[in-house]
């Protein structure tokens, strides 16, 4: 759900961004997680064709365990714990890319030739890794992820479809699944119906 459409450039801290949208992410109804008061993401296209996503989770103190900080490096199965995710594909093309960004500082990038069909050659040569900044406060936590233009499909911004999702882990190991949109009875961030934005929306 869109909750803020534009912030004037004069009010921004980072002039690298040209336009932003703030969304409230939607919790999948099969995965209730009452510890979380809100989960929002601010999206901005960068001047070089990249994408910045600022995630903000508001929750009770210590309600959600967080992955331990680790050196920035690639790691698999980050989605088994709290993790922010970005997806990018080209309109009319079944191929897409997935970017996982963990509060630990670890990240993952995957290419797919079609729905859940991993393609080891899709990201060859490997694009620059996501740049992650993470912080906590009394209200919860924030995570910023920056994707360089080279990490996104090399087509016009108007053709790049964007999906945004978050997995949150509760203290008892329960997982909650948030996204811009849900399109199935069970959480499934890979469905193209959930890629509801275009990169050009943020320019």
Bridging pattern class, strands 51-59 and 17-24: unpaired
How does pLDDT run along the chain (203 residues), one tens digit per residue?
Answer: 676 555 544 444 444 444 568 999 999 999 999 999 999 999 999 888 999 999 999 997 678 999 999 999 999 999 999 999 999 999 999 999 999 999 999 999 999 999 999 998 888 888 999 999 999 998 999 999 999 999 999 999 999 999 999 999 999 999 999 999 999 999 999 999 999 999 998 87
Instruction: Check which CATH number belongs to the domain holding 115 and give it.
Output: 2.60.40.1190
* Close Cβ partners of 154 (under 8 Å, ≥ 6 residues apart): none
* DSSP secondary structure letter of residue 74: B
Residue environment code for 176-202, b if the CB has 16+ CB neighbours within 10 A, otherwise e: bbbbbbbeeeebbbbbbebbbbbbeeb
The parent domain of residue 33 ranges over 2-202
Cα separations in angstroms, 145 against 63, 80, 92, 103, 115: 23, 19, 26, 10, 24
Quote the number of domains for the chain: 1
Query: Is this structure's pTM higher than 0.75?
Result: yes
């Amino acid at each position: 759900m869109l909750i803020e459409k534009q912030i004037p450039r004069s009010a921004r801290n980072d002039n690298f961004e040209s336009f932003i949208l703030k969304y409230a992410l939607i919790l999948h109804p099969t995965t209730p997680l009452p510890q979380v008061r809100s989960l929002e993401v601010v999206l901005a296209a960068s001047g070089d064709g990249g994408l910045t996503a600022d995630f903000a989770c508001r929750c009770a103190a210590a309600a959600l365990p967080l992955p331990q900080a680790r050196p920035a490096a690639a790691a698999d199965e980050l989605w088994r714990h709290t993790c922010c995710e970005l997806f990018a594909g080209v309109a009319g093309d079944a191929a897409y890319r997935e970017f996982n960004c963990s509060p630990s500082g670890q990240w993952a990038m995957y290419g797919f030739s079609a729905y859940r069909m991993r393609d080891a050659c899709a990201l060859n040569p490997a694009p620059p890794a996501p740049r992650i900044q993470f912080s906590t406060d009394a209200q919860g936590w924030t995570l910023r992820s920056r994707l360089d233009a080279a990490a996104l499909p090399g087509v016009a911004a108007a053709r790049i479809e964007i999906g945004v999702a978050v997995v949150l882990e509760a203290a008892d190991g329960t997982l909650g699944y948030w996204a811009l949109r849900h399109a199935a009875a069970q959480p499934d961030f890979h469905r193209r119906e959930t890629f509801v934005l275009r990169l050009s929306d943020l320019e």
